[in-house]
Amino acid sequence: MDEQHLAPLSADEDSRFDGYSSSDDASVEVTSTVDECENELVRLSTCLQLESEFDNDDDQAFEWPEPPPTLLSSSSSDIEELADSQQVVLSTTSFNNGDTQEKSNSCKRRQWSIKEKLDAIALFDKNQSKRKTANEKGCTPAQLRNWIHNKENLLKMYKNKKGGKRKRLEGGGKKVVYADLDSRLFTWYRSRRTDPNDQSRAVADIRRERVTLRHLEKEGRRIAKELNHASPASSWYLRFLKRNGLSLQRPKRQDKVPLDEVHRLANSFYMFNRRASLWSIRRGPMGAFISEDICNMDESPLALFGDQAKRSVNDIGTSNEINGCISNKRFCTVLLTVFGKNQRMKPVVLFKGKGNIGVNEREQYSKGVDVIFTPKAVINGQSMDIYINKWLQKVYDGHPKLFIVDSANSHLKPEIIQKLRKKNVVVSIIPKGCTQYLQLLDTAVFSVFKNHYQAAADEYIDCYRSRSKIKLTAKQQRIICTRLISTAWIRTQKSIDFERAFLDIGYTWVDESPVSIRTLKGFIFDPSTVTSSTFNDDENEEKEEYNAKKTTVEEKKELTFVKHHQQQQIETAQRRSVYQKMKFDCSSFLFFIFLYFYFVLKI
């Protein structure tokens, strides 16, 4: 079952597709060119970060400042400098049974910063003796002569930003091999993300699109193909970021709650969970709950073969703002439910459409997921109700449960909460703005799940590397998506210790010791404050609820009385109007009769 995503798709005998599919959605092309594995990128990135500022970089594109003419001619000083740099020292001798062993180590040549070089030059200007200055500073006379010859260049470099920390002049190392690719790729990047220092552009012309490393590599391969040369390795793109002052950053979060407010909301959240554990018969250290009774549910967008990375390319030292939705290539939405123990819920996939699919397609869906169709592939009230019914079928056993969700509108439907309460399920809402700190799925699960999903997708593409392109219909896309999700979920359960994760974030507990969570620094919850006020608070809440219901009934009675009184007034007014009209009609009739007899008798 772990490799079900590699199983071939059956022939497309059923020509019926879901009504939502358009010409653009009916097929997807995935190139068979496979990127290097993510672990290799992490390893190379780590190596680049540990590399010192003075190590040679194959792609540095600096130009040497023009040295004085005296440096262009060879002299005996170069030989002297080389000889001085090859000094050998003997290590301390170690004695073992009277035998003496000597070890020699080569002494690494020291690196000198520009500031140190200028200090040595200033000392030479005072004493006018190269050898004396070299002895005092610990350098060779040849080095000092070289610094004196390049004094103007050193002064110019020292005035630049971070010049005092540099160990050498610009221009060292090999030149950029793919200079044309470097230039065109950076131009393409600027077309997606405007230079933050460019003040000439209007606000409407500023671009802030999301560009991931995988997206950058894909565009680089396309440009390299146009230029008719080999595509560079993945490490080249990491050096490209370094050369151009770019880095991989997480997107800026909007509408962040102040940290002190987060602490207050987090305290109320954990207080509610502890109080809820005292509302029923005690079953263990967590009161009415055990680890199997507590769960966390949330949904996340998912792209079929797109980049699932959270970090994107941005200029160093600037806020990583992204226009529009961060995940604007949603193929579906996946709902995950995790328990402290005994994972009982399958992943739920929300596809876009009306659900008008054939039996053949539904039979090819992975058995490890549940599929729901919604108009926009996002969760709504109807899909949430379907999910709750599935959840109750799998989880409900008569014991109290704690259902932890965020404050999304679809999670807060009154009829859904009421249905769960009837089944003795307590709904605990994570306060708005606190999900990044308090929701386990956001802090520890979704990132691991999407990494496994991406790995499974790469394995599927590798399986068909003999083909230049993979073309999938809308039906096949949905089938392979369910299989990839099922594989990723199986691997996620193997790689995460959910029991420990629930304990670390404070959803479960083993005693009444204070709780501090890794994701919210400086926050400590003291459970001892719960017991003293629990029962009084519960009694007050019951009274408030009773009073609210009583007030509601009285208001309804008063409103009914007012409506009845108004209706009576309207009916009385109508009767009076009819009576007046009848009275007028009767008077008119008698008057005409009188006139008639009057004229008849007169004639």
CA 319 to chain centre: 15
Q: Can you give the pTM of this predicted structure?
A: 0.58
pLDDT > 60? residue 537: no
pLDDT tens readout for residues 416-445: 999 999 999 999 999 988 998 999 999 999
Which residues have a Cβ under 8 Å from the Cβ of 119 and sit 6 or more positions away? Answer: 137
Output 581 or 450, whichever has higher pLDDT. Answer: 450
pLDDT > 70? residue 546: no
Which residues have a Cβ under 8 Å from the Cβ of 377 and sit 6 or more positions away? Answer: 330, 331, 332, 333, 350, 351, 352
Residue range 354-367: average pLDDT? 90
pLDDT tens readout for residues 485-502: 999 999 999 999 999 999
Q: What is the pLDDT of residue 493?
A: 95
* Strands annotated E in 250-357: 294-302, 312-315, 332-339, 348-352
| C-alpha–C-alpha distance, residues 256 and 121, integer Å | 53
Output 384 or 304, whichever has higher pLDDT. Answer: 384
Residue range 466-492: average pLDDT? 85
How much of the chain, in percent, has pLDDT values that exceed 70?
70
- How would residue 32 be classed by pLDDT, with cut points 50, 70 and 90? very low
- How would residue 121 be classed by pLDDT, with cut points 50, 70 and 90? very high
Q: What is the pLDDT of residue 92?
A: 37
> Contact, 73 vs 97, CB < 8 A?
no
Q: What is the pLDDT of residue 525?
A: 93
Q: What is the pLDDT of residue 10?
A: 66
| C-alpha–C-alpha distance, residues 597 and 43, integer Å | 121
pLDDT > 80? residue 551: no
Which of 173-182, 346-355, 417-426 is least confident?
173-182
Which residues have a Cβ under 8 Å from the Cβ of 535 and sit 6 or more positions away? Answer: none
Assign 3-class secondary structure to 175-200: CCCCHHHHHHHHHHHHHHECCCCCCC
